[in-house]
Amino acid sequence: MPVLACNCFSPSPEARKWNELIKKHMLVGDAEQAILTYVNMQVLGLRADNYTFPVLLKAAGKICLSHIGYALHGQAIKTGLFAHSFLQTALINMYGTLDCIVDACKVFAKMPVKDLIAWNSMLYAHASNGQMEDAVHLFNLMPLKDLSSFNIMISGYSSCGEALSARSIFDKMAVKDIVSWNSMVSAYIRAGYMEEAHMLFMEMSVKNKITWNTMITGCLQNEHYTEALHLFDEMKTTNCTPDYLTMTSVLSACAHLGSLETGTKIHTYAIDSGLASSPHVTTALIDMYAKCGSIVQALQVFYKSQVKDIYCWNAMIYGLALHGQGYAALELFDKMRRKLVKPDDITFIGLLNACGHSGLVQEGCQLFNSMQEDFGISPKLEHYGCTVDLLGRAGHLDQAYEVLETMPYEPGEAILGALLSACVIHQDLETGERVIKVISSRACYLSDGELMMFANLYASCGKWEEANRWREMMNDTGIVKIAGQSVIEVSGEFHKFLAGEIGQQMIITC
């Protein structure tokens, strides 16, 4: 991007047209083009005015380029426009967005007259960056507070997961609007207080689309999948029409439940409401069908989609991996490259999983090596984990352990568990005992799953005495293996069963 340079040319009648063009770019979300338009404006010798800079400062904040913000700040000073209070407020907002709170504070401190908007902008800069102690201090100093002031504090506490502090502000408010209620519901959800969030949700006399989406996504985040579907059905009976955010959330809930029947009904609703063409919804549909066992329907959604972004391609690769279609996933990756869609780190996690589930060791290792060499993507812990799993599944346990030792990350429970499981399957006691030593040296205590895996390793290799020792250790410490559970769907009803018990445990109607 060209370097911004100050000019001292006289204002031109054409400046207003350029201002409108800059605003137009911002309205469509193209902040970078707004900045480039301003650069072109300068090349023509046109001077910015006090209407130009606030829009440009907002653009600089959106594209997260602090050096552009500093350049604009300098120009505002040199052109004499810095004295305008609304431009100073725009600077505070920009520096807050860029996490340059010290600079925001300097601008705020030098303002000769601070109106309520300036106070709220500084308050928001602190609260949005998690600096709630500074926000509280400023809040108490404010000579006047309005509804926005209180809402900013609730939102700040919500972001920090401090639901009780948010509630103390909420209860002090003489007047509350829909933003206040939504922010408080969000605060409870972020803190994991779903019961309190639902109670507050039920108290609300007016609910908008944000309210419903906040509750539905909150249920999803807290693994209350059936409740998310209940809320979706209820939302459809109100004057709030579901949007693509609603659809992606409820489709994800279906994916977690394995509910193909409900997911298909939601797909039909998405088509009828015109939401199925959204790339977000397309991705969610592919993911849902794949996880519910219907890879054919996932492929149909994928190929019928007119617009495929990287998330859509990744979801299809993941779906094929889940169904053990390794060659199909690699073929899709080749098509993706021919379409000039640039892969990301998530793409390679899906591809490595696909190779692992299909026993494509050579192809998987080549992909892992090509990440950095051909695509400039540094492997993360997840990529190393997939590679260890790939080699372990194929019985190359020495190589898998070598990857474990040489990777620049501490191996997590998932990687160690996958390798140990492979040792059990392939009856490799030597490598398995090396993994056991790593797990035992790092863990403060051993879980039921780890103890059972240790016992299974020795049992698979015929070391029954050692296997019994680990089982006795599990019994002596009072650790009980967590019972498995299953959920099946019959005619729109979800039936939950626990392992070892007879009969119906729970019925949840969707």
Residue 497 main-chain phi, psi, to 5 deg:
-125, 145
CA nearest to 85, candidates 97, 76, 98, 74: 76
DSSP code for 486: E
C-beta atoms surrounding 206 within 10 Å:
8
Residue 485, in any domain of the structure: no
Helix (H) or strand (E) run with residue 493 in it: strand 493-498
Please give the distance of CA 235 from its chain centroid, rounded to a whole number.
Answer: 24
User: What is the domain range of residue 447?
Assistant: 400-478
- So what's the pLDDT on residue 263? 96
Predicted confidence band at 67 (pLDDT cuts at 50, 70, 90)?
confident
Alpha carbon distance 114, 342 (integer Å): 48
- So what's the pLDDT on residue 5? 44
- So what's the pLDDT on residue 7? 43
pLDDT > 80? residue 36: yes
pLDDT > 80? residue 276: yes
- So what's the pLDDT on residue 85? 79
Residue 454, in any domain of the structure: yes
Where helices occur in 342-482 by DSSP H, the ranges are 345-358, 361-375, 381-393, 397-406, 413-425, 429-442, 448-460, 464-476
What sign does the CA torsion over 274, 186, 63, 23 have? Answer: positive
pLDDT > 60? residue 339: yes
- So what's the pLDDT on residue 502? 56
Reported as a single tens digit per residue, the pLDDT across 387-436 is 999 999 999 999 999 999 899 998 888 898 889 889 989 988 888 888 88
The owner of tokens 């109607």 is: 509
Q: β-strand 485-490 against 506-509: which pairing, if any?
A: unpaired
Please give the distance of CA 444 from its chain centroid, rounded to a whole number.
Answer: 30
- Residue 131 half-sphere exposure toward CB, CA atoms < 13 A: 17
Q: β-strand 485-490 against 493-498: which pairing, if any?
A: antiparallel
Q: % helix / strand / coil in the chain, to the nearest 5?
A: 70, 5, 30
pLDDT > 80? residue 448: no
Summarize the confidence of residues 38-58 as an average pLDDT. Answer: 78
Residue 57, in any domain of the structure: no
pLDDT > 60? residue 109: yes
Residue 452, in any domain of the structure: yes
Summarize the confidence of residues 69-97 as an average pLDDT. Answer: 81
Burial 352-372 (b: 16+ CB within 10 A, else e): bbbbbbbebbebbbebbeebe
Helix (H) or strand (E) run with residue 208 in it: none
- So what's the pLDDT on residue 17? 81
Alpha carbon distance 231, 156 (integer Å): 26
- So what's the pLDDT on residue 374? 92
- So what's the pLDDT on residue 444? 64
Reported as a single tens digit per residue, the pLDDT across 216-255 is 999 999 999 999 999 999 999 998 999 999 999 999 999 9
Give the bridge partners for 494, in sequence order: 489, 508
Alpha carbon distance 342, 371 (integer Å): 12
- So what's the pLDDT on residue 324? 93
DSSP code for 482: P
Alpha carbon distance 324, 120 (integer Å): 54
Residue 136 main-chain phi, psi, to 5 deg:
-65, -45
pLDDT > 50? residue 8: no
- So what's the pLDDT on residue 485? 59
Residue 435, in any domain of the structure: yes
pLDDT > 90? residue 291: yes
The owner of tokens 């004295």 is: 83
Name the more confident of 414 and 494: 414
Alpha carbon distance 119, 247 (integer Å): 38
Residue 185, in any domain of the structure: no
Give the bridge partners for 487, in sequence order: 496
- So what's the pLDDT on residue 363? 96
Residue 207 main-chain phi, psi, to 5 deg:
-125, 135
Name the more confident of 15 and 418: 418
- So what's the pLDDT on residue 182? 96
The owner of tokens 């019985």 is: 395
Predicted confidence band at 365 (pLDDT cuts at 50, 70, 90)?
very high
Reported as a single tens digit per residue, the pLDDT across 130-162 is 999 999 999 999 999 999 999 999 999 999 999
Predicted confidence band at 491 (pLDDT cuts at 50, 70, 90)?
low
What sign does the CA torsion over 288, 292, 295, 297 have? Answer: negative
Of all residues in the chain, the percent with pLDDT exceeding 90 is 58
pLDDT > 90? residue 78: no
- So what's the pLDDT on residue 48? 73
Which pair of tokens denotes residue 421?
A: 């499981």
- So what's the pLDDT on residue 28? 80
Helix (H) or strand (E) run with residue 191 in it: none
Task: Provide the number of structural domains found in the chain.
Answer: 1
- So what's the pLDDT on residue 283? 97
Which pair of tokens denotes residue 357?
A: 């589930």
First to last CA, the chain: 53
What average pLDDT does the structure give for the chain?
87
Determine the 3-state secondary structure of 468 from DSSP. helix
Residue 118, in any domain of the structure: no
Alpha carbon distance 90, 57 (integer Å): 6
Residue 496 main-chain phi, psi, to 5 deg:
-105, 130
Predicted confidence band at 500 (pLDDT cuts at 50, 70, 90)?
low
CB of 129 closer than 8 Å to CB of 162 = no
- So what's the pLDDT on residue 508? 43
Residue 129, in any domain of the structure: no
C-beta atoms surrounding 306 within 10 Å:
7
Reported as a single tens digit per residue, the pLDDT across 54-65 is 888 888 888 777
pLDDT > 90? residue 474: no
Summarize the confidence of residues 295-300 as an average pLDDT. Answer: 97
CA nearest to 181, candidates 156, 155, 160: 155
Alpha carbon distance 346, 299 (integer Å): 19
Cα angle 110-115-118, degrees, rounded to a multiple of 5: 65
